[in-house]
Each structure stands twice: as C-alpha cells, then as structure tokens.
C-alpha cells in the first residue's frame, strides 16, 4: 500500500508552496506525515490496526507542535476503500483544517 499512498500524497503536499520539510512514511499499519507550514510544525497520522483498508481506521492531527488531536474515525462510510480514497481524504482533512487550500486554482 505504501507505493499507492505515499508518492501521490507527497506530490500533493509538495505542490503547496508554503509547506516544507515534508516527510511521509507508511509502516506498522500507520501512515505518518510531518511538515512545516510557514515555519510551524504539523504532523498527522492515519492508522489501520487490522492491516487492511476495510477494517477500523483513525486519523489524528498535531499542529503548532502541540499534542495530537483526538483520534477521529476515518473513512467510516466508504464501502470499497482504495488507496486513492486514503489520499483523497487525507488531503481533505488537511484542507478542512486550513493547512492546504480547499480549492485548487
């Protein structure tokens, strides 16, 4: 799943001119990401405890160097989840927090 999630998500994040030091990994059933936005640290993770996209999933975000947010359900209403869904919803979660733009120009 690494090759289907990390490269496209990294491309999306690298296209944001105000983000730097972007790091992404997918290991131990967890997608982890960190970056700086205008010098402020952010990190997030999405986890898949059953090692599959169709099982339970969660998402958490940390901003300005503070502790992680409450773990939120992630992709709970989707029936046939693919790696493209994971990339899409991580992008949308970051946009909802105002970290990346909602609309592309």
The residue written with tokens 């992630």 in the block is 74
Query: Which residues, 6 or more positions from 94, have their beta carbon under 8 angstroms from its beta carbon?
Result: 44, 61, 100
Predicted pLDDT of residue 33: 94
Higher pLDDT, 82 or 78: 82
**Secondary structure (DSSP) of 9-25:** HHHHHHT-TTEEEEEEE
Name the residue ranges covered by the structural domains of the chain. Answer: 2-96
pLDDT tens digits along 15-63: 998 999 999 998 888 889 999 998 999 999 888 877 777 777 888 888 8
Torsion of CA 64, 77, 50, 14, to 10 degrees: -40
Is the pTM higher than 0.75? The answer reads yes
% of the chain surpassing 70 pLDDT: 81
């Amino acid at each position: 799943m690494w090759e289907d999630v990390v490269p496209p998500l990294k491309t999306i994040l690298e296209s944001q001119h105000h983000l730097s030091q972007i790091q992404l990994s997918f290991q131990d059933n967890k997608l982890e990401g960190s970056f700086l936005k205008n010098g402020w640290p952010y990190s997030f993770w999405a986890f898949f405890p059953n090692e599959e996209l169709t099982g339970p999933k969660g998402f958490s975000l940390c901003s300005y160097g503070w502790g992680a947010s409450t773990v939120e359900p992630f992709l709970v209403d989707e029936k046939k989840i693919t790696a493209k869904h994971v990339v899409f919803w991580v992008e949308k979660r970051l946009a909802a927090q105002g970290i990346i733009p909602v609309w592309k120009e």
